[in-house]
Structure 1
Amino acid sequence: MTVLQLPCTIFKTQKWMDDYSASDMHCGDLTEAQLKSQYRLDYISDRVDPWTLTRRSSMDRPQSMFCCNLRGQGEKITRQQCAAMLFDEFRSLSRKFSLYGPYRHLIEKMITHMQNGNGTPFHDVSLDRALKEHILNDKTDNSSRLRLKKALILSIDWKNRRYSEIAKGKLNEAISRGRLPKFDSFQDNYNGMGITVHDTWATHIIIKSLQIDNDHYRAVVHYKVQDHFGLDSDDILKTKFSQFHFFRIWFVLQRYNQFGFKPFMTNMAATVEITGGRNES
């Protein structure tokens, strides 16, 4: 019987890593007319009008009784100045989604990366730390870590102290029936992780080592997770997103053919230790 060769990738999502063809990775593909007619994005910002390239005043807002007379009459600016002002407002508005905690700085850092990074992948050690904490703190029945722990106990060949290649599918099945790490809890709405990552796009889980001694085992398991920092049409058409200037600005900066700032891959990784015993229930 063939022993499982390590390191071994035991799980991959159906969605690919580095999928730049995904709908939320499109950029610079929509005209002003499309953004206004299909997405109802006439009014984007309280600071600037990207359609007329003019700076707004406090009187030039939809809630003002004078807006119809004054809109578009402000100071003319360049397209580069307009984009810079939109990014500043983008960062400012992000703070309501990142009120506290060690990850509150990430959203502004990622917005700046969108502004200057030209679509290059993004990584930060804080993301790795958040992922590891999430994996270790998930004590639910659907936890991928706990389901993997149980599957190893049940399918290790304890007599011969090994794990066979043929039983690899049991590990994949256990994880597939569970819940992969994502940041969609109530506190994630305010600690910065919900707005930076929220759900994830692709996940790979790799067993790096597996040591079996008597009636116990120790596995070192590596999670590689990727998300997209970008918006697709479905996102902006949802009221829960389109009602906020934050997402309206984001969509226009990314998708308007006069801006076309590139979305990017957000990469994070975590390595955890899983231990178990033959006689555990």
Structure 2
Amino acid sequence: MDKLQFPCEIFKTQKRMDDYGADDMRYGDLSEAQLKSQFNLTDVSSRVNPYTLTKITPFNQIRIYGSRSEDEKVSRQECAGILFDEFRYLSRSFSMYGPYKTLIEKMISHMQYGNGAPFTDLYLDAALKAHILNDRSPDNSSRLQLKAVLEKNIDWEKMCYPEKYKDRLRDAIMSGKLPKFDRFQDNFNGMGITVHDTWATDITIKSLQISGHRFRAVVQYKIQDHFGLDKHDILNTTFKKLRFFRLWFVLQRYNQLGFKPFITNMEAVIEIVGERNESKK
């Protein structure tokens, strides 16, 4: 009997890692006319008009996107700075408490200055690990699903996991729910707005140690998300009515701004410990 060799990748999503061709990774590809006609993005900012490069004041706010000679003009760079400051300010309503509440402002600043470079943060990794470990639903938790399959399929006499049962590990992941930040608390703790859904997930069992009637598996989760908006996002009625998302889309997709979206990398390594369960043989 062949035994499974480790490390062993047991799951990967159909969506691939490092996918810079996705629609939400596009930038600077839409004109003012397109933004206004296709997406009705006329009222973008409460502070500055990105199309006319004029500040919005209480005196001209009633005609937000009509310009007169006495309106204060700004450079395109100054306009972008004002838009990003407003972007950060509006993000606070999505990130009100907890250790991850500063992430969204850091990620917005990374969009402003990072030129599309990938983003990592220890708090993102910590959030992912906590999510995996705290999910105790036997139907949803990939960790618990893997534990059950390992307990049932380890060859305890030969102290190994049979290679012929490798697909059962993948099936265990498929039968559960991948870690995503779409829980109620994620609407307010900063994770829903920074990550929410995810783009690609790879899961690898790094090692499996079997001793007596117990085992210890070390499992690595690698997850990527895109900090960017696609056309479907801004056409979503809920998103479109929020200035936060209108600002984001224009900063990213307007051909006179074109700030690059970026890939968010998250990684967590967990241990799964279990023991032989005769009732499952």
Shift of 1:167: 1.1
- Contact 1:222–1:272 at 8 Å: present in 2 too? yes
1:9 counterpart = 2:9: yes
Residue 104 and residue 36 in structure 1: after superposition, are their counterparts in 2 closer, same or farther (change >3 A)? same
Distance across 1 between alignment mates of 2:207 and 2:59: 64
Q: Give the match's secondary structure for 2:263.
A: strand
The alignment yields a C-alpha RMSD, in angstroms, of 1.3
Shift of 1:279: 1.5
1:93 counterpart = 2:76: no
1:190-223 deviation line (CA, Å, top 9, x unaligned): 0000000001100111101101112111101010
Q: Give the match's secondary structure for 1:128.
A: helix
- Contact 2:56–2:64 at 8 Å: present in 1 too? no
- Contact 1:28–1:255 at 8 Å: present in 2 too? yes
Distance across 2 between alignment mates of 1:215 and 1:10: 23
Shift of 1:39: 0.5
1:241 counterpart = 2:236: no
Unaligned 5+ residue runs, structure 1? 62-66
Q: Give the match's secondary structure for 1:146.
A: helix
Unaligned 5+ residue runs, structure 2? none
| Structure 2 residue aligned with 1:34 | 34
Distance across 2 between alignment mates of 1:50 and 1:69: 11
Distance across 2 between alignment mates of 1:267 and 1:19: 12
Residue 163 and residue 69 in structure 1: after superposition, are their counterparts in 2 closer, same or farther (change >3 A)? closer
| Matching of residues 64-103 of structure 1 within 5 Å | 67-68=62-63, 71-73=66-68, 74-103=71-100
The aligned amino acid for 2:63 is C
Distance across 2 between alignment mates of 1:184 and 1:269: 18
1:107 counterpart = 2:104: yes
Distance across 2 between alignment mates of 1:193 and 1:203: 17
- Contact 1:49–1:72 at 8 Å: present in 2 too? no
Distance across 2 between alignment mates of 1:85 and 1:233: 24
1:38-81 deviation line (CA, Å, top 9, x unaligned): 111011000000111100002433xxxxx239842320111111
| Structure 1 residue aligned with 2:113 | 116
Q: Give the match's secondary structure for 1:72.
A: coil
- Contact 2:119–2:262 at 8 Å: present in 1 too? yes
| Structure 2 residue aligned with 1:204 | 202
1:197-250 deviation line (CA, Å, top 9, x unaligned): 001100111101101112111101010011000000000000110111110000
Percent identity for Structure 1 against Structure 2 = 64
Shift of 1:280: 7.0
1:53 counterpart = 2:50: no
| Alignment size in residue pairs | 276
1:129 counterpart = 2:126: yes
Distance across 1 between alignment mates of 2:208 and 2:16: 26
The aligned amino acid for 2:268 is A
TM-score normalised by structure 2 residue count: 0.96
Shift of 1:158: 1.4
| Structure 2 residue aligned with 1:23 | 23
- Contact 1:56–1:71 at 8 Å: present in 2 too? no
- Contact 2:49–2:65 at 8 Å: present in 1 too? no
Distance across 2 between alignment mates of 1:35 and 1:237: 11
- Contact 1:44–1:248 at 8 Å: present in 2 too? yes
Distance across 2 between alignment mates of 1:77 and 1:93: 22
1:255 counterpart = 2:253: yes
Shift of 1:7: 0.6
- Contact 1:59–1:70 at 8 Å: present in 2 too? no
1:105-153 deviation line (CA, Å, top 9, x unaligned): 0000000000000000000000000000000000112111110111111
The aligned amino acid for 1:86 is L
- Contact 2:12–2:203 at 8 Å: present in 1 too? yes
Q: Give the match's secondary structure for 2:30.
A: coil
| Structure 1 residue aligned with 2:193 | 195
Distance across 2 between alignment mates of 1:38 and 1:219: 51
Q: Give the match's secondary structure for 2:216.
A: strand
- Contact 2:202–2:222 at 8 Å: present in 1 too? yes
Distance across 1 between alignment mates of 2:66 and 2:155: 74
